């Protein structure tokens, strides 16, 4: 069977997505980025280069709060850049944390964003500071390459060390996959890691040969996301990602991983050919086979993914077009051996474990609630300063969670009293009093920096939660864990379509409301209300919440309840996502 990539490489004329031509002409992601950085006449880069800088971990943005005023004054938009730092498995050292804090204050908007995929993000970096910021990031033995773009991005991993031996194996798998699937182009080093004379500064491994042995010059058709889960926790939301590995533990040892493929959240309003999809379990592999299996899954998607229509280019559509059996057969053909049958496992939740835990070695770990992952200093909540002071005395590590929160891990018995005191001094212990709804909430950045956002998200969700908490308290549900998520557009960065309650921006002040996602991320939700005004959300959901409080069965999750009571139809297949909608 001729692959789509074969056709693309041949003389056959194809109508391909514009990005494919940009990648082909880029000389392995160089483009004219260096020239653009030197151009002091504008705060922006060339349009094609802004597609290439994504592969380097950078998005060009502008402050949308200022657009009208700047347009009125005949000024160009207030351009700045978002920089995303890869943190495989979310684990970083105290020294790296201190440096991320410094960069946020020196070059960004004095805030640090913990993302839904265990990465750091800096917002508000102006073009003249881009190179120094990325250089400094690499000096900490971290990087930004492949944090965005049509490649395998940051590899996520369950960060909780209560199964310390299993976590070590899972974390190694995440790191090994990340290392193996990192692009090999020299462009990253040439652009960002050279001094004023153009001489290269060796920081990370510089590939010796100018080629992309895995990706080729066209890279992948679209972004590719990989995660590693350790049951019973599905905090990484494995079903929402292109590729996943579920640790199978027998007699306290990780004997291998079930392999999942085909998940993805993004869709487009008004286009029912686009939809979120849950990943499916494809088979089982041993720990020694993980990297090879990951590579071959990527190669099959590279060769057969759609390069003509970007809205149809994710792995989820490749699998829906050909079928899981076909896809598994292709992966096994590339491997040269068969995957084993999947083994039993059970997920119980996809939330974080807040507060203190202690491991068998006697070390302690504390998970902190960081609302929507945004760290900053305010008069009431000097969180950045507090975490900086903790990093100065902590000898363990920091772990970014997949739910945008933070674990301070491997705290020795001697250190625990000091860190407890610092948490209290800087009011970082707020998670102990937050509602179950707030502790299970998540929002993307959205306005004012995201160019795709149709409505507020990070800046609005906290206020909406306060409104809903009034109802929950009156119903006796303040401590009940209900997953609730918000995104400013349908691309789904906060993984809304598997939440029990979700809001997806439709227009300024208007949201599609979804209900019925699985409590541990195992089921898609269903549209409940189209284009609901923000001020009407509380009234829309209050009767449903009160019904749940009065009539739920023992142990019944909110998402299960709304399906049983007929508020929404059950959705398990992506292709059924838009079916059976009844507006309320």
Q: Which residue has the tokens 């792995």?
A: 315
Kindly state the DSSP code that residue 313 receives in the 8-state scheme.
-
Q: Report the SS3 class of residue 134.
A: helix
DSSP string computed for 65-96? TSHHHHHHTT----EEEEEEEB-GGGEE-HHH
**Which H helix or E strand runs over 294?**
helix 290-304
- Residues 113, 404: Cα–Cα separation, whole Å: 8
- Residues 65, 326: Cα–Cα separation, whole Å: 48
Q: Report the SS3 class of residue 433.
A: coil
Contacts of 517 (CB under 8 A, 6+ apart): 483, 497, 498, 499, 500, 501, 502, 523, 524, 525, 559
Q: Report the SS3 class of residue 326.
A: helix
Q: Quick check: 237 and 276 in contact, CB under 8 A?
A: no
Look at the alpha carbons of 167, 173, 174, 179 in this order and tell me if their dihedral is positive or negative: positive
- Residues 381, 434: Cα–Cα separation, whole Å: 14
Within 13 A of 357's CA, how many CA atoms are on the CB side? 17
Helices 461-475, 537-551: inter-axial angle, 10-degree rounding? 30
Q: Report the SS3 class of residue 100.
A: helix
Token digits for 251?
């007699």
**Minimal CA–CA distance to 210: which of 45, 42, 28?**
28
| Main-chain phi, psi angles of 310, to 5 degrees | -65, -30
CA dihedral 308, 312, 318, 322 (to 10 degrees): -90
- Residues 425, 404: Cα–Cα separation, whole Å: 22
Q: Quick check: 222 and 28 in contact, CB under 8 A?
A: no
Residues marked active site are found at 84, 153, 223, 225, 444, 450, 489, 493
Token digits for 353?
């474990």
- Residues 404, 571: Cα–Cα separation, whole Å: 26
| Main-chain phi, psi angles of 175, to 5 degrees | -65, -45
């Amino acid at each position: 069977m001729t692959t789509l990539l074969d056709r693309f490489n041949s003389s056959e004329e194809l109508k391909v997505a514009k990005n494919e031509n940009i990648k082909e002409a880029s000389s392995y992601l160089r483009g004219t980025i260096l020239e653009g950085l030197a151009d002091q006449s504008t705060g922006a880069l060339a349009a094609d280069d802004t597609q290439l800088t994504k592969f380097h971990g950078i998005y060009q943005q502008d402050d949308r709060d200022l657009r009208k005023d700047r347009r009125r004054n005949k000024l160009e938009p207030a351009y700045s850049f978002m920089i995303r730092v890869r943190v495989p498995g979310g684990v970083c050292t105290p020294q790296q944390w201190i440096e991320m804090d410094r960069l946020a204050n020196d070059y960004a908007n004095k805030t640090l964003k913990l993302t839904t995929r265990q990465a750091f993000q800096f917002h508000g970096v102006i073009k003249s500071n881009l190179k120094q910021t990325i250089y400094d990031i690499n000096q900490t033995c971290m990087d930004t390459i492949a944090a965005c773009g049509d490649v395998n991005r940051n590899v996520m991993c369950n960060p909780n060390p209560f199964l310390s031996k299993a976590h070590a194996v899972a974390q190694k798998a995440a790191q090994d996959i990340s290392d193996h699937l990192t692009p090999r182009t020299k462009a990253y080093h040439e652009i960002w890691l050279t001094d004023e004379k153009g001489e290269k500064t060796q920081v990370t491994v510089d590939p010796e040969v100018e080629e992309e042995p895995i990706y080729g010059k066209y890279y992948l058709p679209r972004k590719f996301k990989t995660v590693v889960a350790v049951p019973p926790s599905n905090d990484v939301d494995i079903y929402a990602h292109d590729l996943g590995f579920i640790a199978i533990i027998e007699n306290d040892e990780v004997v291998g991983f079930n392999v999942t493929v085909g998940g993805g959240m993004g869709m487009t309003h008004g286009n029912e050919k686009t939809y979120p999809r849950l990943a499916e379990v494809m088979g089982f592999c041993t720990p020694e086979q993980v990297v090879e299996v990951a590579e071959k899954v990527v190669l099959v998607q590279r060769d057969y993914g759609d390069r003509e229509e970007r809205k149809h280019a994710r792995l989820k559509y490749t699998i829906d077009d050909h079928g899981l059996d076909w896809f598994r057969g292709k992966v096994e053909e590339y491997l040269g051996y068969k995957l084993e049958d999947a083994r039993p496992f059970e997920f119980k939740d996809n939330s974080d474990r807040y507060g203190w835990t202690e491991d068998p070695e006697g070390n302690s770990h504390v998970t902190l609630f960081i609302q929507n992952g945004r760290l900053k200093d305010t008069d009431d909540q000097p969180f950045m300063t507090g975490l900086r002071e903790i990093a100065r005395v902590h000898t363990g590590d920091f772990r970014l969670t997949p739910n945008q929160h933070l674990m301070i891990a491997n705290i020795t018995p001697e250190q625990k009293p000091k860190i407890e005191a610092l948490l209290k001094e800087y009011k970082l212990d707020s998670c102990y009093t937050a509602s179950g709804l707030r502790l299970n909430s998540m929002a993307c950045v959205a306005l004012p920096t995201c160019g795709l956002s149709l409505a507020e998200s990070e800046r609005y969700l906290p206020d909406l939660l306060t409104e809903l908490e009034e109802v929950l308290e009156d119903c006796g549900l303040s401590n009940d864990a209900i997953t609730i998520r918000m995104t400013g557009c349908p691309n789904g960065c906060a993984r809304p379509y598997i939440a029990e309650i979700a809001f997806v921006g439709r227009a300024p002040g208007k949201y599609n409301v979804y209900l019925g996602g699985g409590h541990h991320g195992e089921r898609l939700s269903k549209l409940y209300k189209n284009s609901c005004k923000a001020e009407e959300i509380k009234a829309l959901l209050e009767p449903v919440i009160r019904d749940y409080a009065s009539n739920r069965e023992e142990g019944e999750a909110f998402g299960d309840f709304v399906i049983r009571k007929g508020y929404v139809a059950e959705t398990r297949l992506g292709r059924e996502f838009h079916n059976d909608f009844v507006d309320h």
